[in-house]
């Protein structure tokens, strides 16, 4: 039964009919609060059944909240919580009269229910708390909307409101907690079964790169994967290649209950903080149509090129790929938009390009950039666990690579490497020897026929071409950290004109041929 004590927490409400102020009592259920407290005081085990999701602040009556808090302190200290021990507790504080005295404690015991009903009453109390908070939040949203803040526009207020609503919705979720090993083991077997039936035998989201999937088993849910490299190594290209392989492979099926389940591929949310959505689209179109991105940008297209682009765009039109190119996003903004995409389109892979451009959520000042990056990487890891999706975050490497003879990157080359290396489940580093070889060995140019005869030029150019062929298109993805598996180096092929990585055919991968 819901009580409506008009003496408690009254809020004015204008009646539209006569414009005279009336009052509505915020949602509450004092009988449920009294019955639950009585059950806890009668049998302290009832506290264990509600303490994971019910907090003192959830009670509508402040006195009930104080009694619940004191009860919890006594129980957690290994003492019995009953009217006698609570009387001593509040007498020592000098607040016994504030909670109604010993007579009220006895009245609570008389209102006791069985321990079996405790969770139901606890959820009732929590539900009324959420309703009161929702009313308060609505008032705050309305008040902020009326005020004009030059630093916070309407869209920022909408995102903040959405964030607050989500936080409120996840407050006190009582489904969390320990799981039996039998249940966890069953989930693991189901995951293995799905991988066994899936082409490629991966438990996570297949990247499309055979050797990479062999080592990682695909991109795993709740993992933070950092893909790092120096400029021009192809970080964004590899990320987009992975994204479009997964989206093109996206498949879902409905079970007997009509619930959809993803059987392959992924819905991708790409946060492009460096490149615009149009620039990213040109890259992807060049990769799929095999028309050089330089030709697309300059408009130097033949009829055949244009036809290829039209055919590629038709293939790409329906893939579940979403791009957000808003600059200067904070971790909080990113989390809000990812949650929305998860709710609306079943988001299953997040890509962030790139990590150092993400802003920390809080407005406080940090002593160092390392602390800022620490908050960002922790936020991305928490997002991966919360949404149960892999987060692929691109990262820059420091200039220390350029000072070494061997340009292959190492974990220590990560900018603010301590926090990134600590929070990431997987760290992959990209290296293309072709880039550095061409910088130190420029292509010979025939500029002075008198001093450099034609025959000598052809000879030197042929030598240059032969050496260039040895490194052309060669790319390495160094798995420098792998929390759940081995580290290794994967060889890929890179087509610079199309900004596309591909599997590299190895001698031991080729089929046997009888000669």
What is the CB-side half-sphere exposure of residue 414 using CA atoms within 13 A? 29
Q: Hey, which residues does 351 pair with through a beta bridge?
A: 270, 392
| Range list of H helices, 9-82 | 30-42, 45-50, 62-76
CATH code, residues 204-431: 3.40.50.300
d(CA 322, CA 331): 18
Q: Hey, which residues does 478 pair with through a beta bridge?
A: 429, 489
Q: Would the pTM count as exceeding 0.75?
A: no
Look up tokens 């869209």; give the residue: 155
Q: How far is C-alpha 143 from the geometric centre of its chain's CA atoms?
A: 31
Question: Residue 392 has what pLDDT?
Answer: 93
Model pLDDT for residues 184-213, shown as the tens digit of each residue: 666 666 655 555 555 555 678 888 888 888
d(CA 269, CA 345): 10
Question: Residue 511 has what pLDDT?
Answer: 46
Q: Hey, which residues does 149 pair with through a beta bridge?
A: 152
Question: Residue 199 has what pLDDT?
Answer: 56
Question: Residue 201 has what pLDDT?
Answer: 59
Ranges under pLDDT 70 in the chain: 1-23, 114-115, 149-152, 169-202, 255-262, 361-367, 415-418, 442, 444-458, 461, 505-515
* Domains 11-169 and 204-431 alike in fold: no
* Domain boundaries of the chain, sorted by first residue: 11-169, 204-431
Cβ proximity of 286 and 293 under 8 Å: yes
CATH code, residues 11-169: 1.10.860.10
């Amino acid at each position: 039964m819901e009580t409506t004590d008009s003496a408690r927490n009254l809020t004015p409400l204008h009646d539209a009919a006569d414009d005279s102020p009336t009052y509505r009592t915020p949602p509450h259920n004092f009988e449920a609060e009294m019955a639950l407290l009585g059950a806890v005081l009668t049998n302290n085990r009832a506290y264990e059944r509600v303490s994971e999701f019910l907090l003192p602040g959830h009670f509508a009556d402040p006195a009930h909240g104080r009694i619940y808090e004191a009860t919890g302190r006594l129980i957690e200290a290994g003492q019995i919580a009953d009217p006698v021990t609570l009387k001593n507790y509040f007498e020592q504080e000098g607040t016994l009269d504030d909670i109604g005295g010993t007579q009220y404690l006895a009245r609570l015991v008389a209102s006791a229910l069985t321990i079996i009903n405790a969770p139901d009453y606890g959820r009732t109390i929590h539900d009324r708390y959420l309703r009161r908070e929702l009313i308060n939040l609505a008032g705050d949203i309305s008040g902020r909307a009326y005020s004009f803040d030059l630093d916070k526009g309407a869209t920022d207020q909408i995102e903040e409101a959405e964030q607050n609503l989500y936080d409120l919705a996840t407050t006190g979720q009582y489904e969390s907690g320990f799981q039996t090993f039998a249940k966890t083991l069953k989930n693991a077997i189901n995951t293995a079964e799905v991988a066994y039936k899936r082409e490629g035998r991966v438990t996570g989201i297949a990247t499309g790169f055979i050797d990479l999937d062999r080592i990682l088993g695909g991109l795993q849910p709740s993992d933070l994967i950092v893909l790092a490299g120096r400029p021009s190594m192809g970080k964004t290209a590899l990320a987009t290649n992975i994204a479009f392989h997964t989206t093109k492979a996206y498949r879902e099926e409905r079970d007997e209950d009509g619930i959809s389940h993803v059987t392959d591929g992924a819905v991708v949310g790409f946060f492009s903080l460096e490149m615009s959505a149009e620039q990213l689209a040109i890259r992807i179109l060049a990769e799929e149509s095999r028309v050089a991105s330089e030709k697309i940008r300059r408009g130097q297209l033949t009829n055949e090129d244009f036809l290829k682009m039209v055919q590629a765009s038709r293939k790409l039109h329906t893939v579940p790929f979403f791009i957000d190119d808003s600059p200067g996003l904070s971790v909080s903004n990113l989390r809000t938009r990812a949650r929305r995409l998860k709710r609306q389109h079943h988001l299953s892979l997040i890509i962030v390009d790139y990590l150092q451009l993400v802003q920390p959520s809080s407005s406080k000042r940090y002593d160092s950039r390392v602390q800022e990056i620490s908050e960002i990487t922790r936020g991305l890891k928490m997002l991966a666990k919360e949404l149960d999706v892999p987060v692929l975050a691109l990262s820059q490497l420091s200039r220390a690579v350029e000072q070494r003879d061997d340009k292959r990157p190492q974990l220590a080359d990560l900018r603010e490497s301590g926090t990134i290396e600590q929070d990431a489940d997987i760290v992959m580093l990209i290296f293309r020897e072709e880039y550095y070889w061409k910088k130190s060995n420029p292509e010979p140019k025939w500029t002075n026929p008198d001093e450099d005869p034609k025959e000598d030029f052809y000879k030197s150019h042929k030598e240059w071409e032969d050496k260039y062929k040895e490194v052309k298109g060669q790319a390495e993805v160094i798995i420098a950290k792998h929390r759940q598996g081995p580290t290794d180096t994967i060889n890929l092929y890179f087509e610079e004109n199309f900004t596309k990585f591909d599997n590299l055919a190895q001698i031991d991968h080729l089929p046997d041929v009888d000669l």
